[in-house]
Amino acid sequence: MENFNSFNLSENLKKSLKGLRFTKPTEVQSKTIPFAINKEDILASAETGSGKTAAYLIPLIQQISTNRKVSGIILTPTRELAQQVADVAKLLVGYKSGINLGLLVGGASMNNQLNQLKKYPRIIIGTPGRINDHLLRKSLSLKYFNFLVLDEADRMLDMGFGEQVDKIVEYLPELRQTLLFSATLPKEIIRLSKKYLNNPKRVEVKDNNVIKSQIKQKVVNTKTEQKYDELLDEITERKGSILIFVRTKYATEKLKTRLIRDTVKSSALHGDLRQNKRNRILEDFRKERFRILVATDIASRGLDVPHIEHVINYDLPQVPEDFIHRIGRTARAGSIGEAVSFVTPSDSRMWRSIEKLLDQLKNPDKKDRDEDRDQDRGQNKNQNREKNRDNNSNNKPYRKRNRRNSKSRKFYKKTSK
């Protein structure tokens, strides 16, 4: 696909794309947009930074622009990602389109959101928890929302939003178009797609831009008690903004306090902060008012700060896929970045899983061959098991139990009398 003109988009949308300097669609956009404009359900696997946000926003805005009966709802796992999607949507919609947007996320002012809903937005972007709050309050009706996007569905399931998504879908019309995007496609996502999607078109982006981009990786094998000193050494060696990932909310505040005590200016970002404070911290980080941000995995998706030069995995993530999203926060927009990972003896199993995932993403064809080989092995194993069972049942004669040789307690009691 050479450019966006091939999609026969509306003039307003073409103007917005031109203003954003979107000229050539990415792979996921060129594969997704034609199906989505044709009102097909889509199951797409695409990594962070692949352009998937525009891949579903462009067809949604196109349909809304040409059909008054279309409205769309976009579910995201984190507030930061919802905000990022809303920012892109505003730019694509344009100021004079008359299409209102609603951003419904937890931790933000409920009154502001109620005012947004009074304007009857055609596009709603939000997190499952807050959208359910509005549905229970009856401040939101979804009976006319016939375009559903589940963005980063794998992360939503990891964060325990499965039941809340189910409740939201109950409020949507049965006749709708659904697009599901996920960085990976584990069995849980396949089951989810069968539940929500109707004969979906499969879109897969095999080339992993995060792995193939200019990200230099460094592994520091250390011990738990030595990690902080190693971190100080890494910070001292480096120039530019640094994003440090830790596993828990408590750990972000604890590490930030230790860094400040050692005269390293930093801030912490985690899920217990109010939304306005999270926004303020991110804005200060974007404006480089401080150099180091310590965060949980809420920053691994939806955080787009072009000047991040280094990502440090102080703690490894709980699932290997989050490692890809973490390191994808650096080397944005073609820049060069570096990712450092601290690996302690207790992390060895997780690190092996991460290395396996990295190898699969670098060599997708090898992954397919391995899956086929494992499937063949499984089938052969089942066939051999069935064959052995049949042979054993045919060859072994029935043997009557010899009561005299029985070692039951009853038998010994009788014979001893």
For residue 157, the SS3 value is: helix
What pLDDT was estimated at residue 20? Answer: 83
Please give the Cα distance from 181 to 197 (Å, whole number).
12
What pLDDT was estimated at residue 416? Answer: 43
| Under-70 pLDDT residues of the chain | 1-2, 48-49, 206-213, 302, 332-335, 364-417
Q: What is the pLDDT of residues 156-209, one digit of tens each?
A: 988 889 999 999 999 999 999 999 998 878 888 999 999 999 999 999 886 555
Q: Which residues in 101-256 belong to E strands, given as ranges?
A: 101-104, 123-126, 147-150, 177-182, 201-204, 215-221, 241-245
Return the H-helix or E-strand segment holding 293: strand 292-295
Confirm if 41 and 201 have CB atoms less than 8 A apart.
yes
Confirm if 196 and 167 have CB atoms less than 8 A apart.
no
Its pTM surpasses 0.85: no
What pLDDT was estimated at residue 295? Answer: 94
Q: What is the pLDDT of residues 276-300, one digit of tens each?
A: 888 899 889 989 999 999 999 888 7
- Structure tokens given for 58: 């462009």
The 241-245 sheet, strands edge to edge = 215-221, 337-343, 308-313, 241-245, 292-295, 266-269
Residues 348, 353, 354: CA angle, nearest 5 degrees = 95
The 147-150 sheet, strands edge to edge = 101-104, 123-126, 72-75, 147-150, 177-182, 42-45, 201-204
**Domains of the chain listed by start with CATH number:** 4-204 (3.40.50.300), 209-346+355-361 (3.40.50.300)
What pLDDT was estimated at residue 410? Answer: 43
For residue 290, the SS3 value is: coil
- Number of neighbours of residue 34 by Cβ within 10 angstroms: 16
What pLDDT was estimated at residue 302? Answer: 64
